[in-house]
C-alpha cells in the first residue's frame, strides 16, 4: 500500500488524538462486522440456492412467494423501509434475478 493510500485509509477526519483513537477502534469493529456480514451473506445465498434446487428437483416450484413475502415483512418490521430493500437484495442473492 502506498504511503498516500495508508494515510487515507487511516484518516479519521479529526486531529484530536483521543477522538482519532476512538474512531479507529470503532472502525476496526465495523470492519469485523462487515467481514461477518459478507460471510453470512454468502452462506445464506448458498443455502437458499440449495433449497431452490431441492424444491425444483422434487417437482416443486422455483419460488415460494409466500416465503419471500414473510422474509420481506420481517426485514421491514425490524429495519423500516430500508429493510424491504435489503430483503430484496438478500432474496436475489439466493435465487438469482427473476
d(CA 15, CA 84): 39
pLDDT at 68 over 90: yes
pLDDT at 82 over 60: yes
In this prediction the pTM is 0.79
pLDDT at 98 over 90: no
Q: What is the mean pLDDT of residues 60-73?
A: 95
Residue among 56, 55, 84, 57 at smallest CA distance from 71: 84
Cell of 31: 470492519
The pairs formed by 15-24 with CB atoms below 8 angstroms and a separation of 24 or more are none
d(CA 76, CA 4): 41
pLDDT at 61 over 80: yes
d(CA 48, CA 85): 18
Amino acid at each position: 500500500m502506498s504511503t498516500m493510500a495508508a494515510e487515507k485509509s487511516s484518516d479519521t477526519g479529526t486531529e484530536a488524538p483521543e477522538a482519532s483513537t476512538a474512531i479507529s477502534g470503532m472502525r476496526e469493529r465495523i470492519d469485523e462486522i462487515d467481514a461477518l456480514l459478507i460471510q453470512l451473506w454468502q452462506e445464506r445465498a448458498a443455502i437458499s440456492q440449495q433449497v431452490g434446487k431441492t424444491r425444483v428437483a422434487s417437482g416443486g416450484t422455483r419460488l415460494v412467494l409466500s416465503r419471500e413475502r414473510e422474509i420481506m415483512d420481517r426485514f421491514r418490521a425490524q429495519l423500516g423501509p430500508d429493510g424491504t430493500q435489503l430483503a430484496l437484495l438478500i432474496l436475489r442473492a439466493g435465487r438469482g434475478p427473476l
